[in-house]
Amino acid sequence: MTLTATDARGNAGVLDLTVTLADVAEIAAEDDVMAGPVQGREGAETAIDVLANDVFNAARPTAAEVALRLLPDADLAGGRIALSAEGPVSVAVGTPAGRYELSYEICAKDAPESCARADAVIDVAAAALALAPDAFGAPPIERRDGGAARAPSSEASGTTPIDGRDGGVAGNVLTNDTIDGAAFEAGEAEATQLVASVPGLSIDPDGTLRVGPGTVAGTHDVTYRACEILNPDNCAESTATVRVGASQIELTDDDLTDAPIYGVSGGVTRP
């Protein structure tokens, strides 16, 4: 570029200028949406890569080229969600279900004023609960030869009902229930009794089904609800059937001939 200047007296001067224009890097950030949710019970090392669809110099940005940072309004689920400098978003094991929005910014390291912003949405799903019906105990076994039936016990089994006179533990209603296809681990679910067909039946939070002393004999149903502790609104319902037996009554023949009663005067036998 050549500049020519002339003053009031007609004196002219010529000046040559050289201007060098540096290339301006293209930088662009695009919003990120996951293909499917992460299971919060299991977590994920890479739920999504926020840089995968962003652009720097016509290519995916790298940590060496851009500085990546979360903006203050990012929802990190109480520290359970994290963003690495390379772009992947991790979700920790035990993250509650929900939709978490992360606002982030990328800036060129060689031109910090060149930046772009975008949002990433992280969907975390609750586990699938499957509750199966329960059956505890069985009717008393009657012997056709006239012998004594098997007596009920304080611990119900597949062949013996629980004794309604003394009561006891029928079993655990969560034993055959599953979360994401696997058995519940301790502390993963909480059981709540909804309806019992007779008084005396109760279910503890850990799933233990109890029969109280004095519970009437028979086959009784208890409806219960199990909820995931991580996501208390994630619940399912089922029914447990428990068979309660009557106590065994045994009669023994008595020989009272050693103390006869005379019909003339009458009297009372000994017990």
- The tokens for 19 are 């201007």
Q: Share the mean pLDDT of the chain.
A: 85
| pLDDT surpassing 90 at residue 40 | yes
pLDDT digits (tens, 9 = 90+) for 77-111: 999 999 999 999 999 999 999 999 999 999 999 99
| pLDDT surpassing 80 at residue 12 | no
pLDDT digits (tens, 9 = 90+) for 117-175: 999 999 999 999 999 999 998 544 333 343 333 444 444 445 577 888 888 999 999 99
pLDDT digits (tens, 9 = 90+) for 214-225: 999 999 999 999
> 0.85 cut: is pTM over it?
no
Percent of the chain with pLDDT over 90: 68
Domains of the chain (ranges plus CATH)? 25-125 (2.60.40.10), 129-245 (2.60.40.60)
